[in-house]
Amino acid sequence: MSASSGDMSRRKLLLGGAALGAGALLAGCTSNDTKDSDTGTNTKVNAATEAPGKAVTIGFSAPAADHGWIGAITANAKAQAAKFSDVTLKVVDAGKDAPAQIAALDTLIGSKPDAIVLLPQDGAQLTEIGRKATAAGIIVINLDREFSDPAASFSLIKGDNYGMGIAAGHFIGEKLKGKTDAVIGEIPGIDELQLTKDRSKGFADALKTYGLTVKHRVAAGFTVESGQKAAANLLQAAPKLDAVWNHDDDQGVGVLAAIQQANRKEFFMVGGAGSRDAMDHIKAGDTVLTATVTYPPSMASSAIILARLAAQGKGMGDLVELQVPKLIVLQSETITKDNVDKYLPLGFKS
């Protein structure tokens, strides 16, 4: 992460060590990783986790791949499961909404898998089905979108949404340091989701340390079309901008299209998630996009590893504890032209 010492000290001040207190990093658990630059898959194994154990069936459900990040989530899960000779992955269609996913999972629970890795359409609405699976003795790994009740899952693994906003805010704040009248725009994803609220709060909290605030905010919906529409509305409302944070690189394809169509070049933009498209633009320097903050879909690979270990009654090799952690929060890192080559192999296609 290319952050200045001042950036890091402010970040530590804001986070107060909360991320480390609440969760654990999975990086030390595995090694010998292989990567696919087209899908953003990152599958990892080591001697401890690779050794065959009891045969287990893991159910998997995630929303349809209507954009790159979700597609990479499913690709990571499938690729990781394929690494283990003792794992049978049972993928179930999540349908078009929460009720459809609940119905599919209800059927899956009836088949009695050893574990379920679940990225909910909506965490709150899927909480009850998580409880049902847990009550049936099935290990549930809640992926990314949190259940309302922590007891509805065995473990939760997610990106750091608040930290994502913190990282974006500090990058913008450092570049605009001393310019307290700066005009900053924000294009979030779906406003109703808690993850969006967390990202926006982190962004606002970081900007505040520089005496800055968001002046224009228009929500999109994690799609190219919604990103283009939101950006067009934002640009119309703000005849002059200094910086913009777009929460999601998939919707960022549309955001950049709107910016180019309007021929606006007076500001710089930070993206979110870490798509290959965004990294290519950052490296080429051919758009206003100068950085992106990560939200790695490799969490799905880690979720499969956790589900397998838990179903086999194992812990993580590098930890003293006998079971896998209850909560793992992956850090959000800042990708710029200075370090983009390091992250390119992990970028997913939008």
pLDDT in tens, 194-244: 889 999 999 999 999 999 999 999 999 999 999 999 999 999 999 999 999
Q: Do both 273 and 190 map to the same domain?
A: yes
- pLDDT tens-digit series, residues 96-116: 999 999 999 999 999 999 999
133-147, 150-164, 183-197, 311-325: least confidently modelled range = 311-325
What integer pLDDT is reported at residue 305 of this predicted model?
95
What integer pLDDT is reported at residue 50 of this predicted model?
63
Helix (H) or strand (E) holding 58: strand 56-61
Residue 185 lies in a domain: yes
CA 173, 176, 181 angle in degrees (round to 5)? Answer: 105
Selected residue with higher pLDDT from 34 and 29: 34
Q: Do both 30 and 129 map to the same domain?
A: yes
Q: Do both 116 and 196 map to the same domain?
A: no
The residue range of the domain holding 272 is 161-294
pLDDT grade for 134, boundaries at 50, 70 and 90: very high
Selection from 4-8, 9-13, 62-66 with the highest mean pLDDT: 62-66
Q: Do both 191 and 285 map to the same domain?
A: yes
- pLDDT tens-digit series, residues 290-302: 999 999 999 999 9
**End-to-end Cα distance, the chain:** 23
Q: What is the 8-class DSSP label of residue 332? A: P
C-alpha distances (whole Å) from 240 to each of 181, 184, 231 are: 12, 9, 13
Q: Do both 301 and 155 map to the same domain?
A: yes
Residue 3 lies in a domain: no
57-86 average pLDDT score: 93
User: Which is nearest to 77 in space by CA: 55, 52, 101, 59?
Assistant: 59
Q: Do both 275 and 286 map to the same domain?
A: yes
Q: Do both 275 and 315 map to the same domain?
A: no
Q: Do both 149 and 279 map to the same domain?
A: no
Residue 310 lies in a domain: yes
What integer pLDDT is reported at residue 172 of this predicted model?
98
Q: Do both 152 and 205 map to the same domain?
A: no
Residue 5 lies in a domain: no
Is the separation of the CB atoms in 116 and 105 below 8 Å? yes
Q: For residues 57 and 96, give the distance between their C-alpha atoms in angstroms, rounded to a whole number.
A: 25
CATH of the domain at 234: 3.40.50.2300
Domain total for the chain? 2
Q: For residues 110 and 188, give the distance between their C-alpha atoms in angstroms, rounded to a whole number.
A: 38
Residue type for 46, please?
N
Q: For residues 50 and 56, give the distance between their C-alpha atoms in angstroms, rounded to a whole number.
A: 14
Name the phi and psi angles at 25, rounded to 5: -90, 140
Q: Do both 216 and 145 map to the same domain?
A: no
